[in-house]
Amino acid sequence: MKRRLKPTETTTDQEIRQAVEDYRLEGEGLADVDQAMLQEMNIQADRYLSKRKVPTIGSVPTKKADGTWRWLFGNVNGLATHRARNYKASQLSKLNDTYDFNGLAFCEVGVDTRCFKASESITSFLQIEDTTRLSMAHNKYQPKISLGQQGGCCVVAMGETCQYAKVTKGANDPRNLGRFSSMVLSSHPDQRFRVVSAYNVGRPKPKGLKTVYQQTLRYIQEE
């Protein structure tokens, strides 16, 4: 608590000089703390970037060999807002023009399809004009709240690939949590393979009610 003067009490020049010196020293101490904090933040930032800035491994030729299919997998990190999906659809279109994909496998789609309008779909959100076949999973265990919903996975066959695509029973997460979605591709009864897009909860335990962790935790507690 600061020292308060009585009405009749006076302050000497020596006390004033001492107070100024103390204030200066306190300021220098704070500057040292801030500098140390900045250095620690820089170290943490370097560690973060060193784990994520990695060299490219291999290369993808722009021209596909005859008789081959090419699929794109990615984390789209949400398509609920117009701004987000328009930008991502534009980037997807550029990639598709370059690499000519036969299918897409995405995780963290971030939408609740129960809130779609009659004219809306994942393929319309991604502005895909080609023929498509879709398999999608998201959290349907709980009531719909809004279009934006964390998590969700989808697999999209495009163009000529659609004739070989089948969405079989058990293709999606049976718990209705949307942790994985899949599609079977087959042109012969004895030859088939399954494309799977899966989303892992991970180790963090965020407290937000809409987070994937909390969605899964509520399912465990209620079941």
4-43 pLDDT, tens digit per residue, is 434 444 455 566 566 656 655 565 555 555 677 777 887 8
Alpha-carbon span 104 to 102, nearest angstrom: 7
In 3-state terms, what secondary structure has residue 44?
Answer: helix
Instruction: Tell if the pTM clears 0.95, that is, is over it.
Output: no
Phi/psi of residue 165, each to 5°?
Answer: -95, 135
pLDDT value at residue 206 = 67
CB 221 within 8 A of CB 173: no
Which residues, other chains included, contact 175 with Cβ-Cβ below 8 Å and sequence gap of 6+? Answer: 141, 219
- The domain over range 72-222 is classified in CATH as 3.40.190.10: no
Q: Which amino acid is at 139?
A: N
Render pLDDT for 133-168 as a digit per residue (tens, 0 to 9). Answer: 999 999 998 888 899 988 899 999 999 999 999 988
Of 212, 222, 74, residue with least CA distance to 139: 212
> Which two tokens mark 146?
């809004």
Other beta carbons within 10 angstroms of residue 75's beta carbon come to 13
> Which two tokens mark 59?
């290369």
Query: What is each CA distance from 187 to 17, 68, 154, 159, 220, in whole angstroms?
Result: 91, 14, 22, 15, 39
pLDDT value at residue 113 = 94
